[in-house]
Amino acid sequence: MELVFANLLNGVSYASILFIIASGLSLVFGVMGIVNLAHGALYMLGAFLGIAVAGLTHNFFLGVVAAVVGLFIVGLILERVFLGRLYKMLDQQALLTLGFVYIFGNIALWIWGPYPLMGHVPTFLSSKVSIGDYAFPVYRFALIVIGLIIYLALWWLQDKTRIGSQMKAGIDNKNMTLAMGINYGLIATAIFILGAVMGGLAGFLGSPILGADPEMSMPTLLLALIVVVVGGLGSIHGALLGAVVIGVINTFGNVYFQDFAMFTAYFIFIVVLIVKPTGLLGKKKP
């Protein structure tokens, strides 16, 4: 029983990382209508930037700042220079962002080399808590708490603020929001940057557990897409539910049936698409 509980906590902590990744993708893709296939590459860049700065300064929080600020700048450039000109041009968005996957991957390969790097847990979170005969890392508890805080903040932004209402109205009818005097371009830029920052932050926070390597962009993107689709496109609540479902089942799969564990996420993805194509918490558009 203790082993089951420990694995459940492992699954929830992994789900927290998945949620942070998928929440950024869900905001950009579901709310703004931008197909950002470079989201996994942003996750990778955040991981490498954070690990590099934290390693040089021996300060975990400076690593967080590096991942956030670095991806803020990258997100700003991507949206203002490139994607802002391709509103509702989904094919062009997909091709452009796919190109950035290879560009960012080669930049990471050039700077940090081909070998995986592991992030380091800060000293004050390096202890463990006993669960029966098992020792559970405090850092994983911290990941769960961080995931919950980000979930509450994004829910408040999307559902309880005027900016949240404006951004949802803008994707339905951009011209109407502009006619009402709303600066939708500024809102769209801010949301895209927020999504990029979420991806980079998840990369660094997850690096002590999952590491970082230049080839991680596409697997991360696929997993984030599965979480978003399983939970429901454009829903923060759906992203959380999808992350928990995928994270917990994937963790138990790695423990109890390792030969098939890599297929569990895809199996759930297929089942959800067959049973409820809009996702567990998704809604059909009128």
Closest CA to 203 of 23, 50, 62: 50
Predicted confidence band of residue 283 (pLDDT cuts 50, 70, 90)? low
Domain that holds residue 194: 2-275
Q: Contact at 8 Å (CB) between 27 and 228?
A: no
Q: Contact at 8 Å (CB) between 83 and 36?
A: yes
DSSP string, 68-83: HHHHHHHHHHIIIIIG
- Structure token digits, residue 104: 């960012």
Q: Contact at 8 Å (CB) between 128 and 136?
A: yes
Residue 45 lies in a domain: yes
CATH of residue 199's domain is 1.10.3470
pLDDT of residue 286 exceeding 60: no
**Which has the higher per-residue pLDDT, 205 or 282?**
205
pLDDT score, position 159: 81
Residue 116 lies in a domain: yes
- How many domains, in total, are found in the chain? 1
Summarised one tens digit per residue, pLDDT across range 103-143 is: 999 999 999 999 999 999 998 999 988 877 778 899 999 99
Q: Does this model's pTM top 0.85?
A: yes
pLDDT score, position 67: 97
Summarised one tens digit per residue, pLDDT across range 32-72 is: 778 899 999 999 999 999 999 999 999 999 999 999 999 99
Q: Chain-centre distance of CA 72, in angstroms? A: 14
**Which has the higher per-residue pLDDT, 264 or 217?**
217
- In whole angstroms, give the CA distance from residue 261 to residue 255: 8
Residue 282 lies in a domain: no
